[in-house]
Amino acid sequence: MATFIEDGEREAIEAIRRTVRPGGDARSMRDDAAVLEGGLVISTDCVTFQRHMSEGMGWERFGWTAAAVNISDIASMGARPIGFLAAMALPEDMDSDDIAQIASGMDQCAEFAGTHVVGGDTKPGPGVIAGTALGDMEGRRPMTRDGMRPGDLIAVTGTLGGPAAGMLALENDIEAEGCVLALWVPIPRVEEGIALSSTGKVTSCIDLSDGLSTCLNTLCSESSCGVVVEWDLLPIADGVREVCDSVGHDLKAAVMDWGGEYELLFSFAKADIEALRATGIDFSVIGVAVEDGGVLLRRDEKYQEVGYGSY
Amino acid sequence: MATFIEDGEREAIEAIRRTVRPGGDARSMRDDAAVLEGGLVISTDCVTFQRHMSEGMGWERFGWTAAAVNISDIASMGARPIGFLAAMALPEDMDSDDIAQIASGMDQCAEFAGTHVVGGDTKPGPGVIAGTALGDMEGRRPMTRDGMRPGDLIAVTGTLGGPAAGMLALENDIEAEGCVLALWVPIPRVEEGIALSSTGKVTSCIDLSDGLSTCLNTLCSESSCGVVVEWDLLPIADGVREVCDSVGHDLKAAVMDWGGEYELLFSFAKADIEALRATGIDFSVIGVAVEDGGVLLRRDEKYQEVGYGSY
């Protein structure tokens, strides 16, 4: 018998998928969020004090993060958020003011996303906040992970590597305010997701919460094709190179293998690029989908295979 | 500064209510579940290995319970379940087969409730499962906690005390199969909730997950009235008296102060009792609402005040 950690999270999720009867739409549990009848989109995910609370972050930002990770999951489907809930298992010696700070952070993130904290629960426990975000497709087609086709362009919103560099900066006591904020205050790409899905031209989409390497592999696996990514096209955030240089951390690892980013990774047919540009959403094309071959990174004229990241 | 446990869970929830902007319907976070536009009902709650897993229960029943507690919350509003999700923070050394057992239990409870497990997430963590149940009012009016009026009758579905007696039986190695099953396999009153809400006659409703004493106090507080409960009318489950007698446990405490029951506690005008009976739902009238005075229990011709239970 294998344990959770030996098998890995992906295998545990596969075991769960095999166990439960299929529900919702046919792609239930293969996307960032589930799509239900009537275009409802729902996702749940938890953050733990141990894994997601970093020194200096503060409870308000932790609350924001607990909301952001879930809102990001429905944003990547193109849904408009219509409610957020949190089930909290909190240490018995936790200060009540700190709990209110968490609630305040969740409320601010919900407000940023145009919605509200509508419910939740607290009980004594080991320091886990499980959030649930509910959204509405408003008639748009949900962006899933399985529609990427050979020849499609691959793109990301925003910039990459900020959260990883932020963590490195904190660990090594280096000044890198922008990167640290990217780590502490992840921005769910709600308006971007809505705008992208409203074009009807996006063939696949996923949020980068598991990191670029893993997410590229996931899109390839779900869409049954490969991708070639150009290193020189990756929109690396300001300060990331400097932080990696000063602490001797591999830049590629920071940009591709670290999770905790909430940009959207998506694909579309080359012919549709003008329709995508017309949304006004800021994005960077980083590669192209190919027939097969998994994920290849082209850097300095050489190709290297990219596996799932460690996050 | 006070801690979570000094302040108590109710106060922590009040602090959260004060912090976040109101959303959903006006009663957001004052009922078992939130009601959103279009009659969507949603609730989230977590179970922890430490608090909710009892010896001999097994992972399948634990999974059932994780689903049942949430489905019960939307059932008490009168919603029909349309999806269940689970965010799981699981120990790294947990056996993968055990995780599949949890998923199987959740799936069976979802099937009992006429719905599916539509999504979720797993990650390493301290042993917490946060479930989310989503439901649809299908045009019925949600049953809330605030509509009880003086003169209303108070009733409960099913029987009381089984889960408490089950726990006592396990702790003291006494045979009491029915009670132990009531503890291990809580039944969310889905069809009962739908039938009760479909009458349009129920003035308040709550599930008994916090125990009868607490839930009576909650209905009184939210509805701004009091109740008088008749001890002799309480539908005590088979075996509960015997278990309490043999271990020297107070019967009233087992029946009223213990949580983990999932019957529905509800109120309605006396004149409407025939409409309620016509649903075919099995329920017992246990008392009557009065102008004020909190919760009074009449037993052996004497009245005693009933405070919030300890659960």
Q: Could you report the predicted ipTM of this complex, rounded to two decimals?
A: 0.88
- The rounded distance, in Å, linking the Cα atoms of B124 and A48 is 9
pLDDT of residue B18: 83
A114, closest residue in chain B (CA to CA): B23
Interchain CB distance below 8 Å, B21 and A127: no
B18, closest residue in chain A (CA to CA): A100
The helix (H) or strand (E) run that includes residue A36 is: strand A34-36
Q: If DSSP codes are grouped into helix, strand and coil, which group holds residue A128?
A: strand
- Report chain B residues whose CB lies below 8 A from the CB of A9: 122-124
Evaluate whether A135 touches A211 at the Cβ level (below 8 Å). Answer: no
CATH of A31-136, picked from 3.30.1330.10, 3.30.420.40, 3.20.20.80, 3.40.50.450, is 3.30.1330.10
Q: Which of B95-99, B141-145, B216-220 has the lowest mean pLDDT?
A: B95-99
Burial of B57 (0-12, 13-18, 19+ CB in 10 A): middle
Interchain CB distance below 8 Å, B42 and A134: yes
Q: Mind spelling out the 3-state secondary structure of chain B?
A: CCEHHHHHHHHHHHHHHHHCCCCCCCCCCCCCCEEEHHHEEEEEEEEEHHHHCCCCCCHHHHHHHHHHHHHHHHHCCCCEEEEEEEEEEECCCCEHHHHHHHHHHHHHHHHHCCCCEEEEEEEECCCEEEEEEEEECCCCCCCCCCCCCCCCEEEEECCECHHHHHHHHHHCCCCCHHHHHHHHCCCCCHHHHHHHHHHCCEEEEEEHHHCHHHHHHHHHHHHCCEEEEEHHHCCECCCHHHHHHHHCCCHHHHHHHCCCCCCEEEEECHHHHHHHHCCCCCEEEEEEEECCCCEEEEECCEEEECCCCCC
Interchain CB distance below 8 Å, A134 and B94: no
Interchain CB distance below 8 Å, B46 and A123: yes
- The rounded distance, in Å, linking the Cα atoms of B279 and B192 is 9
User: Any CB–CB contact under 8 A between A104 and chain B?
Assistant: yes
Domains B31-136 and B153-305 share a fold: no
User: Any CB–CB contact under 8 A between B18 and chain A?
Assistant: yes
Evaluate whether B212 touches B160 at the Cβ level (below 8 Å). Answer: yes
- Percent of chain B surpassing pLDDT 70: 95
Can you tell me which residue has the tokens 């037993």? B299
Interchain CB distance below 8 Å, A115 and B22: no
- pLDDT beyond 70 at B35: yes
Identify the CA nearest to A276 among candidates A215, A183, A179, A201: A201
CA B277, distance to chain mean position in Å, is 22
Looking at residue A49, the DSSP 8-state letter turns out to be H
- The rounded distance, in Å, linking the Cα atoms of B271 and A181 is 61
pLDDT of residue A3: 67
Residues of chain A with pLDDT under 50: 1, 26
Burial of B26 (0-12, 13-18, 19+ CB in 10 A): exposed
Looking at residue A261, the DSSP 8-state letter turns out to be -
Q: Which residues pair with B124 in a beta bridge?
A: B90
Q: Where does B153-305 sit in CATH, by number?
A: 3.90.650.10
From A1, A86, A104, residue closest to B97, measured CB to CB: A1
Q: Which amino acid is at B68?
A: A
Tell which of A102, A117, A209, A311 to mutate to test the B interface (max B CBs under 10 Å).
Answer: A117
pLDDT of residue B1: 47
User: Any CB–CB contact under 8 A between B5 and chain A?
Assistant: yes
Q: Interhelix angle for A162-171 vs A177-184, to 10°?
A: 110
Residue spans per domain, chain B: 31-136, 153-305
pLDDT of residue A102: 96
Name the pTM for this structure: 0.91
Evaluate whether A114 touches A74 at the Cβ level (below 8 Å). Answer: no
For chain B, what is the mean pLDDT? 93
Interchain CB distance below 8 Å, B116 and A45: no
Identify the CA nearest to A31 among candidates A85, A82, A64, A78: A78
Instruction: Enumerate residues 40 to 59 of chain A having a beta carbon within 8 A of any beta carbon in chain B.
Output: 40, 42-46, 48, 50-51
How do residues B270-301 score in pLDDT, each as one tens digit? 999 999 999 999 999 999 999 988 999 999 99
- pLDDT beyond 80 at B23: no
User: Any CB–CB contact under 8 A between A85 and chain B?
Assistant: yes
User: Any CB–CB contact under 8 A between A22 and chain B?
Assistant: yes
- The rounded distance, in Å, linking the Cα atoms of A223 and A151 is 13
Task: Indicate the pairing of strand A202-207 with strand A117-124.
Answer: unpaired
